[in-house]
Structure 1
Amino acid sequence: MGSVVALIVVVVVVIVLAKLIRIVPQGYEWTVELFGKYTGTLTPGLHFLIPFVYAIGRKMNMMEQVLEVPSQEVITKDNAVVRVDGVVFYQILDAAKAAYEVANLEGAALALIMTNIRTVLGSMDLDESLSQRDAINAKLLGVIDEATHPWGVKVTRIEIKDISPPRDLVDAMARQMKAEREKRANILDAEGYRQAAILKAEGEKQSAILSAEGKKEAAFREAEARERLAEAEAKATTMVSNAIAGGSVNALNYFVANNYVDALKEMARSPNQKMLLLPMESAGILGSLAGIAELAKDSLTAQRAPTPPVAGGDRAPLPPR
């Protein structure tokens, strides 16, 4: 009997010590109750409580936690049914409020989040809900954080993970996107053709202008050449006329022979001319050439003739050779 009593005493002492000494781990806070009533909160560390008078109420995790939002169907503003899921990051800031202000913290937060997801997405079109995910996250964060503030909870982040439209709606969106891309491609092609046509017209216009200016310059040069040729012909005719008037027939022979030779030259230039027939009067050409030779001989004799002496005994200088 003595050993049994001793064993019972040891067990009671162990239980009393366990109730007396409380060690709270880091990242947690425990609430203390006096006969079932909340009296305080134990922070991480070593604490002593009077056994059987004070008891531990709730052990609250004060670290940031993740809450998975299950997938649910949501009807958008344009009556499109989509499946939406998400994830929520939250942290308990007040252990007493989180323990006693709400019965099931995670369940209540999850129901609140799912309800607000339906509310926010129900006020948006499908295209808006797919393209404005950041705006949806920000709106949900503001609403949920304000609603959970009385519970001593801080919602730090809400992320919509996936928004999945039905398969037929996805196919319709793909066809719409393809049609839109083809439309943009056709517009770009039309713009390219238009720009190419404009550039081609500008090039043709510039080419026509340059061609007209070239023709104008060529006509001007040709007219100038003709004018110079006419002046030369007139001068030559004048010289021949003066020579004839002075009694020199050889100048006339030279003029006629020169024109005769030019005419024969033009006849010989014909592309289909294989044989050239000379008239009987070709001997006149030789006579004209002989006249040209006589004219040249008379000119040289006149240049080499001595100059008569000048009065006063001085002799005129000889012409240079």
Structure 2
Amino acid sequence: MDFSGFDIALIVLAALVILVLFKGIKTVPQGFNYTVERFGRYTKTLTPGLSLIVPFIDAIGAKMNMMEQVLDVPTQEIITKDNAIVAVDGVAFFQVLNAPQAAYQVAGLQSAILNLTMTNIRTVMGSMDLDELLSNRDAINERLLRVVDEAAHPWGIKVTRVEIKDITPPANLVESMGRQMMAERDKRAQILAAEGLKQSQILEAEGRREAAFRDAEARERAAEAEAKATQVVSEAIAKGDPQALNYFIAQKYTEALTRIGSATNSKVVLMPLEASSLIGTLGGIGEIAKEVFGQSGPTSAQRPASRPPVVRGDN
């Protein structure tokens, strides 16, 4: 089959149209942005979907991933403020917010972020003591995030998280830390025991003070009662009533005999008392009873003399 010149021209024109369409129509997948360059100069950014560019004049410059990305930070040795050497690794999360800035403000975006993160890890963690380093990981992550995000902001990216995964001190340092921890716990136990002993002694002293106060108060009230009784007897005597004095003496005498008789270390107690004194005292008691109850009884002169009393204890 022979083709004429017109047929060949149509075929060439159709191929050219297809080539132009292929060069001018661009499809951008979801999660990406494409930069467009005209003669090597940035002109615009293509968003996800179907877009048209000028064929053979415009070209796709950079294909930027706009999704959040994970960047693994390799292990590196860090010297802390107190000269301890620890091995640290981590992970960084970032997202491109401005495709042109990320494409043209820095060469090798991921490498730049990685080196920036590693450098700031050494700076931040190197300014802290080892104990602070091990106990304040959240504070370290927050500080790293703030510093790295601020430094990477001109590149059109947002650093969303910076996490320290592992902090590994040397083996000898870990052993020393274990001994230090045990010593600290023993110290705390001794302090708690001393505090407990102190509290118990304070409570015991307060108990003794309270008991002494109550004993003194009881003695004071007893003395007040004794003084009141003595005052009453004195007033009765002053009014010409001697029976009150006889009753008071008889009561004291009876109490003295009770205390002597109840002694646990006495078996037989001989008391060389005068019979007349005892009879006189008992006679006073009888007179008091006679006046109170109106009963008649033998007077002190009618009672026979008694022998000196003998008080026997428990055998």
Please say if 1:93 is aligned against 2:135: no
The separation in 1 between residues aligned to 2:313 and 2:2, in whole angstroms, is 153
Please say if 1:231 is aligned against 2:273: no
Aligned equivalent of 1:179:
183
Shift of 1:213: 4.3
The separation in 1 between residues aligned to 2:117 and 2:40, in whole angstroms, is 32
The separation in 1 between residues aligned to 2:69 and 2:224, in whole angstroms, is 95
2:77/2:85 contact within 8 Å kept: yes
Shift of 1:61: 1.1
Residues 171 and 239 (structure 1 numbering): CA distance in 2 closer, same or farther, change over 3 Å? closer
2:25/2:52 contact within 8 Å kept: yes
Structure 2: runs of 5+ lacking an equivalent: 234-242, 251-280, 288-297
Question: Which of 190-199 and 137-146 deviates more?
Answer: 137-146
2:124/2:144 contact within 8 Å kept: yes
Aligned equivalent of 1:55:
59
Q: Deviations over 1:127-165 (max 9, x none)?
A: 222233343333323332232223222223322223222
Aligned equivalent of 2:192:
188
The separation in 2 between residues aligned to 1:239 and 1:105, in whole angstroms, is 123
Aligned equivalent of 2:152:
148
Q: What does 1:273-312 align with in structure 2 at a 5 Å threshold?
A: none
Please say if 1:129 is aligned against 2:133: yes
Q: Deviations over 1:186-224 (max 9, x none)?
A: 112111111211211221233234334445655776785
Query: Which is greater in Rg?
Result: 1
Residues 20 and 216 (structure 1 numbering): CA distance in 2 closer, same or farther, change over 3 Å? closer
Aligned equivalent of 2:210:
206
The separation in 2 between residues aligned to 1:221 and 1:150, in whole angstroms, is 96
Shift of 1:12: 6.5
The separation in 2 between residues aligned to 1:272 and 1:33, in whole angstroms, is 125
The separation in 2 between residues aligned to 1:25 and 1:175, in whole angstroms, is 58
For the residue of structure 2 that corresponds to 1:58, the secondary structure is: strand
1:75 to 79, 102, 106: 79
Q: Deviations over 1:250-303 (max 9, x none)?
A: 74543x33x63xx68x54x62468xxxxxxxxxxxxxxxxxxxxxxxxxxxxxx
Residues 62 and 211 (structure 1 numbering): CA distance in 2 closer, same or farther, change over 3 Å? same
Q: Deviations over 1:290-318 (max 9, x none)?
A: xxxxxxxxxxxxxxxxxxxxxxxxxxxxx
Aligned equivalent of 1:159:
163
CA RMSD of aligned residues (A): 3.6
Aligned equivalent of 1:30:
34
What TM-score does the superposition give when structure 2 sets the normalisation length?
A: 0.68
Amino acid at match of 1:144: V
Aligned-residue identity in percent:
54
Please say if 1:270 is aligned against 2:285: no
Across the two proteins, how many residue pairs are aligned to each other?
256
